[in-house]
Homo-oligomer: A and B are copies of this chain.
């Protein structure tokens, strides 16, 4: 694909990517058309297909950039100098737009999910969080903050699911409070584990 080639920072290319990231967040992959991208970026069709092989390629590159942007935020939440359980609480308390869904995982329902190229950035993003959660649980367990027989990986998956599932519930009921409730459940589990 063209996007794999040496890519000098062409301003037009950047504008196209900026518009794509915005549209991906606002509408998702299926509902975003190359025409929309052209309109928002001000770039012409020629530029778009010169810099990218097609819609899927464009989305993959944009998605990878979105993931990179999220990375810093996640790493700050899970800063290793913080007490392990504090990291988890901070992750649960992270500000979210419950009705819009997760910036990355929101796209997990698109048809393009069958394409490995499309899936990768999303999977990596979720994996990173799950790893941070599992690490925090392990540290908490080893320091005696929670029960010694806790299953780090299963609980990490549960906490991540609580967040991602919370988005689903909030959207289905069209009520951000549903996300809050799911997170309250996760916090309660954290408290029970502490005892």
Q: A: which residues have CB within 8 A of B?
A: 27-28, 30-31, 101, 105-106, 108-109, 111, 113-114, 116, 119, 122-123, 126-127, 147, 150-151, 153-166, 168-169, 171-174, 178, 181-182, 184-189, 192-193
Contacts and interface: CB of A to CB of B under 8 A. Distances in A.
Contacts of A173: 119, 123, 126-127
A157 B30 CA distance: 30
Nearest to A186: B158
A154 B190 CA distance: 13
A97 to B, nearest CB: 14
A109 B158 contact: no
Given A188-B150, A192-B192, A181 B157 contact: yes
Q: How often does this chain occur in the complex, in copies?
A: 2
A119 to B, nearest CB: 6
A182 B106 CA distance: 18
Contacts of A108: 168, 171-172
A28 B155 contact: no
Nearest to A171: B108
A164 B171 contact: no
Given A31-B30, A109-B109, A192-B193, A185 B172 contact: no
A88 to B, nearest CB: 13
Contact of A188 (B109, B126, B155, B160): B155
A51 B25 CA distance: 36
Q: Indicate the member of A106, A163, A189 with the most B CB atoms within 10 Å.
A: A189
Contacts of A165: 160-166, 168
A183 to B, nearest CB: 8
Nearest to A173: B123
Nearest to A184: B154
